[in-house]
Each structure stands twice: as C-alpha cells, then as structure tokens.
C-alpha cells in the first residue's frame, strides 16, 4: 500500500478542481488523442489523464487499459505523489527499487506498474489538479525530448480544461438568460392584458366626457382632453411594441411555407390602412418564397410602417425590391422620408434607442420596433443594414437564409 500524500494547499487545490466541473464527465476525443499521443511518444503501454480527488484518482482519459476503469483509490495512487511538486514531473524508472513504492506490487488492471512518469496538470493559479502520466511493466528512461513533449501535452490538457469550463459557464449563462427571457415574455403578456383595457377605457371615457361637456369646455380644456387621449394611444402602442419584441422569438419557430411576396406585402398595406397620399411600389419580379411567413410579415410591417410614420413629404413613396441567390433572399425598402441623422445610424437597431425625431403625427418613437426587426432578421439567419440621408431618403437592406 502506497502511503497517502497530501499537498499543503489541499483544500484550495480541491476547490480549484471542483470548479472545473470536469469530474465524472464523459470521455472526449480531444483528451483521448492526447493520451494516445503520449503513449506513442514514450512507447509505453498505458497513458492516463488522472485527476486527484479527495479520496480517489479519476481518469478523464485512458489509453492502454479498459475504458471501464475510470478511477482507483487515492491511497494507492502514484499520481497523488506526483502532484506534491507541481514544478517537476515525477519519473520513476523502476518502482520495485524505489523505497517509497516497493513495499507492494502496484497494478493497474492487468499491468504491473514498474515504470511511471507523471507530469502535473497545473492550472493558472498554480494548483496541481492531477497528472498526464505514462506507465509500463518494465523499467524505462525518458529522453529530454520525450520529457519536453509530455510537458507540452500536459499544458494542452489544462487549456482544454479551461475551454471546457468556459463552454460550461456559457451554457449555464444561456440557460439563465433563456429563463429570464421567458419570464420577461410572460411579464409583457400580463402587462399587455392588464393595461390595454384600462387604456381603452380612458380613451372611451375621454370621448364620452367631451360629448357630455362639449358646450361647457373652453379651448384649453379641449386640448387637455386631446392630450389624455393621445397619451393613452401612445402608451398602448408602447405596450404592443414591448409585447411584439418579446414574442418575436416564438415567431421564428413557425414552420416555413410557400407564398408570393407581393401577396404578403398587400396584406400589410391593407393592415396599415394606407391613405391616398401614399404610393408603394412592389417588386416587379414577384418571387415565390419558402420561409417563415409570420416572421417576414412582422419585419415588413415594422419597416413599411416606419417609412410612413417618419415621412414629412406630401406624397409618401416607398419602393420595395427583392433579389436572391443560392443561399439567401435579399430585400430592400427605400422611402422618401425624413432620413436618419448620421450619428444615429450605428445605434438605430439597439433596444430603446431612437433617432430623437418625431413622426408625421408629432409623436416620438420608443426604440423597440427596429430592435425587434434586427432580432427577427438574425434569427432567420440574415443581416440588416441601413443607409440614409436626412430630408431625402432611408433604405433598409436585409437578408434571410433560404429554407431547404
């Protein structure tokens, strides 16, 4: 029985080992390649990536023994001695002649461990978490090149551990963000339901009071009533936009369907209740698309709606073009509206960011619509960009990935 070896910083070392979340994980090719290479470089029978836990040594990768053997007791472990000196590998030419280990026969599966070389796996804090080790059933020596190669492989193991840890942390963060987004969507749904009805009641009550008090209201009082009504409509629109933003993720889960682009655009024009002062040019080549119709409809609805709202011309003109290649469908929407200031072009798609301009009716935007558009476009595998010149035009170019 080998005497138990405990490093002086054992508690901190174990804490560092646990923080990697690597113990008792499945085998991975990246680690198996390293043990296979270590065996090849040293021409030995067995190579292990061994992590020294509190009462055991656990093998992340084995080469030369059955993969069913994943751990052995720590008190019969050569690796527990190798981690005592993180700066230097433990190389034992013949364990039978070493007074520390010659009291008992040391075996691993069917291999008697005569030769052992353990290279400490040292993290960035200086803790030896385990070893990359090679073993054989006969005495051996390692050349300087072999020692240098195994030291390099040991460093690669630590790099893989750190990458795994970062990936695990990212997955956990994504899981938390997903739960938070779900909670936000539910919150937005509840807010929409609970606030929209009272706002509708305010609008209705305001109109009713104006009728009842018509002959008793002066011009200033009438302006207050209009302000209440306008504010209620503004708040209702804001709530609708928040809800649309958080529900956009559910839109991208809809299955692809075939449809004519111009038919979709006509549906949007009908929904927007276009007035005579508006002219829209559909693509001459009316393509048949096979994609997420609901998501694309929401994108066009927001962009065309913005082209109408943020337009100071007597005659509003919007032109829509469509192009395609083997992988993407491309769309362009150009209007003759107010344009976007140059210093706002880089931030226009950020949530709650606006161009600090008022629309055709004198209302200021809430910075949600374009953020929702960008989110949908990216979920559909595409990109979006904007070009603009103040007082002249704004053009949005976006793409979506074709469905197979």
pLDDT number for residue 372: 84
Please name which of 134, 130, 148, 154 lies closest in space to residue 47, comparing C-alpha atoms. Answer: 134
Q: Does residue 308 surpass a pLDDT of 60?
A: yes
pLDDT above 70: percentage of residues in the chain: 84
Q: What share of the chain is helix, strand, coil (3-state, %, to 5)?
A: 45, 20, 35
User: Rounded CA gap, 16 and 79, in Å?
Assistant: 17
Alpha-carbon distances of 85 from 8, 130, 256, 299, rounded to whole Å: 10, 11, 61, 62
Crossing angle of the two packed helices 261-271 and 293-309, in degrees rounded to 10: 50
Mean pLDDT, rounded, of the chain: 85
> What pLDDT does residue 370 have?
86
Mean pLDDT in residue range 240-254: 63
* CA-based torsion, 371, 376, 381, 385: positive or negative: negative
pLDDT in tens, 319-358: 999 999 999 999 999 999 999 888 888 888 886 566 556 6
Q: Which two tokens stand for residue 185?
A: 């969507």
Cα–Cα dist 326/68, whole Å? 49
CATH architecture, domain 252-404: 2-Layer Sandwich (3.30)
Long-range Cβ pairs for the range 141-146 (8 Å, 24+)? 141/93, 142/42, 142/91, 142/117, 146/41, 146/42
CA dihedral of 141, 145, 146, 148, whole degrees rounded to 10: 120
pLDDT of res. 168:
87
> In the structure, what pLDDT confidence band is assigned to residue 6 with cuts at 50, 70 and 90?
confident
pLDDT at residue 328, rounded to an integer: 94
Surface-to-core class of residue 274, CB atoms within 10 Å of its CB (0-12 exposed, 13-18 middle, 19+ buried):
middle
- Average pLDDT (139-161) is 95
Range among 48-57, 62-71, 210-219, 360-369 rated most confident? 48-57
Amino acid 255: pLDDT: 83
| pLDDT at residue 1 in the model | 46
Q: Return the domain boundaries, the chain.
A: 10-172, 252-404
In this chain, the answer to whether the domains covering 10-172 and 252-404 adopt an identical fold is no
For residues 201-214, average pLDDT? 78
Class of domain 10-172: alpha beta
> Is 381 in a helix, a strand, or coil?
coil
- pLDDT confidence of residue 242: 61
């Amino acid at each position: 029985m080998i005497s138990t070896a405990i490093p002086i910083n054992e508690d901190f070392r174990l804490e560092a080992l646990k923080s990697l979340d690597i113990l008792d994980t499945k085998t991975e090719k990246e680690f198996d390649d390293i043990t296979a290479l270590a065996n090849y470089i040293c021409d030995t029978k067995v190579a292990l990536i061994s992590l020294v836990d509190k009462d055991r040594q656990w093998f992340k990768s084995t080469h030369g023994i059955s993969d069913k053997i994943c751990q052995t007791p720590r008190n019969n472990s050569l690796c527990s001695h190798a981690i005592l000196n993180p700066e230097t590998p433990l190389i034992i030419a013949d364990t039978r002649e070493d007074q520390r280990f010659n009291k008992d026969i040391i075996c691993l599966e069917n291999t008697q461990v005569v030769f052992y070389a353990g290279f400490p796996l040292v993290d960035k804090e200086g803790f030896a978490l385990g070893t990359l080790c090679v073993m054989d059933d006969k005495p051996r020596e390692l050349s300087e090149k072999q020692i240098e190669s195994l030291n390099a492989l040991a460093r690669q193991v630590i790099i893989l551990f750190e990458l795994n840890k970062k990936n695990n942390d990212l997955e956990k963060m994504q899981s938390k963000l997903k739960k938070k987004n779900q909670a936000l969507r539910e919150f937005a749904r509840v807010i929409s339901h609970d606030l929209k009805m009272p706002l509708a009641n305010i609008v209705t009550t305001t109109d009713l009071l104006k009728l009842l008090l018509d002959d008793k209201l002066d011009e200033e009082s009438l302006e207050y009533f209009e302000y209440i009504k306008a504010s209620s409509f503004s708040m209702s629109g804001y709530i609708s936009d928040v809800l649309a933003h958080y529900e956009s993720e559910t839109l991208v889960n809809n299955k692809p369907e075939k449809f004519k682009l111009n038919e979709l655009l006509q549906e949007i024009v009908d929904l927007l209740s276009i007035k005579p002062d508006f002219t829209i040019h559909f693509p001459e080549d009316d393509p048949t698309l096979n994609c997420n119709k609901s998501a694309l409809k929401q994108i066009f609805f927001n962009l065309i709606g913005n082209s109408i709202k943020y337009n100071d011309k007597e005659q509003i003109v919007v032109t829509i073009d469509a192009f395609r290649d083997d992988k993407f469908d491309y769309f362009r929407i150009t209007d003759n509206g107010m344009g976007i200031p140059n210093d706002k072009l880089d931030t226009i798609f950020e949530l709650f960011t606006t161009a600090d301009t008022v629309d055709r009716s004198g209302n200021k935007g809430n910075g949600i619509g374009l953020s929702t558009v960008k989110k949908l476009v990216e979920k559909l595998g595409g990109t979006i960009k904007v070009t603009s010149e103040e007082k002249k035009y704004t053009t949005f170019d976006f793409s979506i990935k074709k469905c197979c």
